[in-house]
Amino acid sequence: MCKSGPATYRTSLFAHLLIGLVALSGCFRDTTPTPDDPGVVFLDADLGHTEVLADTGGEVLARLVVRTGDVNQTERSPLNLALVIDTSGSMLGDPIDRAREASLSIVDLMREGDFLSVVAFHTETEVLLPSTEVRRGDLDEIREKIRGMEARGTTDLAGGLRIGLQQVMSHRSNESIDRIVLLGDGVPNDPNPIVPLAQQAGNSGVPIAALGLGLEYDETLMGQIAQLSRGHFEYVQEADQVASVFRDQLIRVERMLARNAVLSLQPGPGVEISEVLGQETPQGGGGLALNLGDLSEGDRRELVVRMTAPGRREGALVELLDARLQFQDNVNEAGSLRRTAFLGARATADTTRYEASRNAEVHEAAAALRAATATLTAIRMVRTGRIHDAAAFLENANQMIGDSSSEQAASIQRLRRAVEAMPANEPAPSSVDFEESVREAHDESMDVLGY
């Protein structure tokens, strides 16, 4: 495995190749020290096979792991938060009660100097509290506005997200930590604007914590919102769970080590990136830039890249991938820092030697990511009545996991059995057992994908 720590990076791909030829290594990193770099962000890289087949080439897997170390971070920057709450008719009864309680618990966790806005959406979107600096003397008024929320009308989720994002953007600064917390069931009047809004939030560096409430919340849409914004997804059954989830997110904020992390991938000559498993992968040749968002103490983000490599003569070193992680330091205020890794492999005509170079951990990671993605696709199919297609996807996901005893494997198998017992092409039943199977499999898959 190649591990990259603090460094300055002026080494070209050609220089990487020369050093790789001398070292006879599949991975290279520059290790020239940078004075103010705290050295708590790392980029590790390894290959599914350390050799590639000569002449024929073929698929190559590369695993990239972005991880962070430990550091004593006791202070955090001001939080700039928009609380966006579903107050539509579907939240009537216990869900709106829980939304009120949860919102009040979030207010109690804010500090002086933070910025808070409260947005409620039903048939229309209301700004109950414009983005305002938190002062302890004003909290009672904020609480009264939240207690006065009532469930009515339809669900203008798009309007709520749009206004919430506007409220956050109105008070963002170089120091602020910008976030949206969305509380609701995720069943909108019009779902079409939701995905572009989540993408806009992600591109603007505003992650959305999508917290599902209600009996019939849409885990698929809420999960998409979290994924596209580089945020967090969780289904919460009790109001005090929301406070716990939010408290965990605040701890992550307090231990933030890097901001706006972007992982750039540049394939070598003749190499094409087919897919980054579990990520939205733009089609077309050339490199990719993946927005990883902020990195906190103890984070670990695992990505597996599928590539196709051309055939090369036996013994040649095939340049496969340059990876560059760029981020803003949040520990020593050292500005923009980088980590790089280069991956290359020897071409061999010996199939036995090729098979012996297999890295089982990389292939297991790829299987888990594929299975998680397939499970989410199957759940979307279930929700639209495509039962036969969903069963096929889940069977495929189960085969990817193999004999694994993980929670993910158990939840996939449980969901598959529930789906296979349903009549084909009929809407999914709303039984408690079936819904638990869906939510269990969805939550496990989101965990594997890092949300």
pLDDT tens profile 185-232: 767 888 899 999 999 999 899 999 998 876 667 888 889 999 999 898
- Predicted TM-score of the model (pTM): 0.83
What are φ and ψ of residue 228, in 5° steps? Answer: -70, -25
Average pLDDT over residues 30-35: 58
**What pLDDT is stored for residue 30 in this prediction?**
53
* CB-based contact 349:312 (threshold 8 Å): no
> At residue 9, does pLDDT exceed 80?
no
Q: DSSP secondary structure string, 282-325? A: --SSS-EEEEEEEEETT-EEEEEEEEEE----TTPEEEEEEEEE
Token pair listed for 56 = 């024929």
From CA 265, how far away is CA 321, in angstroms rounded? Answer: 7
Instruction: List helix spans (H) across 70-156.
Output: 94-108, 139-147
**What pLDDT is stored for residue 159 in this prediction?**
95
**What pLDDT is stored for residue 8 in this prediction?**
42
Please indicate whether residue 175 or residue 352 has the higher confidence score (pLDDT): 352
pLDDT range class, residue 237, cuts 50, 70, 90: confident
Q: Which residues, other chains included, contact 188 with Cβ-Cβ below 8 Å and sequence gap of 6+?
A: 155, 156, 157, 158, 194, 221
* CB-based contact 121:154 (threshold 8 Å): no
**What pLDDT is stored for residue 403 in this prediction?**
65
pLDDT range class, residue 424, cuts 50, 70, 90: low
From CA 156, how far away is CA 168, in angstroms rounded? Answer: 19
The per-type count for the chain, helices as H runs and strands as E runs, is 12, 17
| Structure confidence by residue, pLDDT tens digits, 338-393 | 999 999 999 999 999 999 999 999 999 998 898 888 888 888 888 888 888 888 88
DSSP helix/strand/coil, 30? coil
Cα of 71 vs its chain's centroid, Å: 23
**DSSP assignment letter at 409:** H
Cα of 393 vs its chain's centroid, Å: 22
DSSP helix/strand/coil, 117? strand
CA nearest to 353, candidates 314, 386, 326, 385: 314
For the chain, give the percent of residues with pLDDT over 90.
40
| Structure confidence by residue, pLDDT tens digits, 37-83 | 999 999 999 999 999 999 888 999 999 999 999 887 657 788 999 99
